[in-house]
A and B are shown apart, each in its own frame.
Chain A
C-alpha cells in the first residue's frame, strides 16, 4: 500500500480539510421520544451515535440509592458493525470500554446538579452505530445533548473534540486514518470557559507543543458548542411554534 499523505504541503488533509477545520457536525435531539426521557442523535463526520437518557428514576436496586444525590450510570455499547471491518468481540466488558464509561461518568458527575435529584438514578445508554475517530469527544457531545433534552439540570455544555499533532502542525478533529497515524489529545471543555473537565493524551507528544494543541482544541470545542447550541435553539423554537399553533 502506498503511504497516505496525511497532510499535504499545500495544507490539505486526507479528507480535504484544512488543519483547523472541524468535520461536519449534525445533531438532533428528542429523536427517541417514546423510548427514553431524553435522546440525541449525533453525526460528527462519520461517527454516528445514539444517546438515550432515562431518569431521574427510581433505582432498580435499593442498595444503589444515594440519599444525598442522584446516581449516574453510563453504558457505552460499541456495536460490532461500527467499523469497516466487523469486529469479532462484542466490546462489552472490555477494559477500554470500561475506562471510557468511567471517564464519562466522572466528567458528567461534576456537570449535572446531582444533588437536586436525591434517591434517584440517571441512566445513560450510548449506542455507537458507526465510528470514525475522535469517538470520546463525540460521546461527550452526544451525552450533553441528550441530558439537555431530558431536562436534567446541568451547569453548562461540555463539548469534546480530538486534536492530533502531525510533525509540528496541530490538526483539529481527527478521523480514523489520521488518528492511527499520529498521537492525539481528547478534550472535554466546559461551556465557553477554558476549563477542561476531560483531558486524555494517549501517545507520545512533546511537552512544549502541548500548549498550542490545547489552544486549538479549546477553540474547536467552543465551535462545537456553538453548533450544538444553534441546533438546540432551533429545536426549541420549533417546539414552541407547535405549542402555540395547537392552542
Chain B
C-alpha cells in the first residue's frame, strides 16, 4: 500500500513514542498470527506452507538426493523464488545468500552423512507467493518446520562402503526422521529508541533500520546484521538498539520455538 507523506509522518511519530503505538495495536514484542501446514507435498521429503495474517505466504519444499560427498561439499542448497521478482533482483539475491550461508555454516552436516562415501544433499526450495513485509522471518520459520518434518529413506546397506562399488540401498518404505538443528531468523524494525518485532509492511516503510538476529541451539548466533527495510528513512543504528534487539530475541525465541514445535 502506498502511504502519503502525512500518513507516514503520523505512523513514524506513533512508533517513536514510548512505548511504541503500532497501527494494528500490537505490543513491541508481539507477532502477528501465522498459520503453518506441514507435509502436504507427497513427492517432497518435507514441505511446509506458512501464511501470515497480511496475506504473505510462503511454501517450502525439501528434497534429498544421494551424492558423493567427496565431490559435493555443500550438502544444503537453498533456492529462493519470490513471485513477481526476477531471480537476479537484490531482494531475492540477498535472501538467498543469507539463507545459504546460515544453513551451511550453522547446521551440523554430519547428520546428513549416510555412509563413508555418500551423503544426502538437501535441496530446499522456497517459493514466496506473495509478500508485503520483508519475508525473511516467515521463510526461516517455514524452513524450520519443513526440515523438522522431513523424512529421509532408511539405509539398509552397510555404512562402511569404501570398498563397495555400489550405491547405497534403502528400505522400500521405511523412513527416518531427519534430526537436525535448524537456525531461525528474526527481523526487527528499529524506530528511534524502540525495537519492534515482525514489522508489518507499513511499519517497515517508516522504520529507521532493520536488524536480523539469528537464533540457533538456544542462543543468539551469527549473523546478526542490519537489513534494509526501506530506502527513504534508513539511518545508522545506535549500538544500544542492537543490544536491545538481542535481549528481546533472547526472551522471545524460546516461546516462538515452542509454538513452532507444538
- Residue of B42, B59, B87, B130 near A35 (CB, 8 A) is B130
CB distance from A62 to the nearest CB of B (A): 17
Q: Which of A24-77 contact B (CB under 8 A)?
A: 32-36, 46, 48, 50, 52, 77
- Residue of B53, B55, B79 near A80 (CB, 8 A) is B79
Is B81 within 8 A of A35, CB to CB?
Answer: no
Q: How many residues on B have C-beta within 8 angstroms of the other chain's C-beta atoms?
A: 24
Is A35 within 8 A of B123, CB to CB?
Answer: no
Is A32 within 8 A of B63, CB to CB?
Answer: no
Interface string of A74-91 (1 = CB under 8 A from B): 000101111110100010
Is B42 within 8 A of A81, CB to CB?
Answer: no
Q: Which of B36-58 contact A (CB under 8 A)?
A: 40-44, 53-57
A-side contacts of B40, CB under 8 Å: 48
Interface string of B127-141 (1 = CB under 8 A from A): 101100000000000
Interface range for A:
20 to 34
Is A77 within 8 A of B41, CB to CB?
Answer: no
Please name the residue on chain A nearest to B54 by beta carbon: A34
Known: A80-B79, A81-B44, A130-B41. A52 touches B125 (CB 8 A): no
- Residue of A32, A36, A48, A79 near B81 (CB, 8 A) is A79
A-side contacts of B87, CB under 8 Å: 90, 92
Interface string of B115-132 (1 = CB under 8 A from A): 000000001010101100
> Is B12's CB within 8 Å of the partner chain A?
no
Known: A34-B54, A90-B87, A129-B41. A79 touches B127 (CB 8 A): yes
Q: How far is the CA of A135 from the CA of B55 in the complex (A)?
A: 26
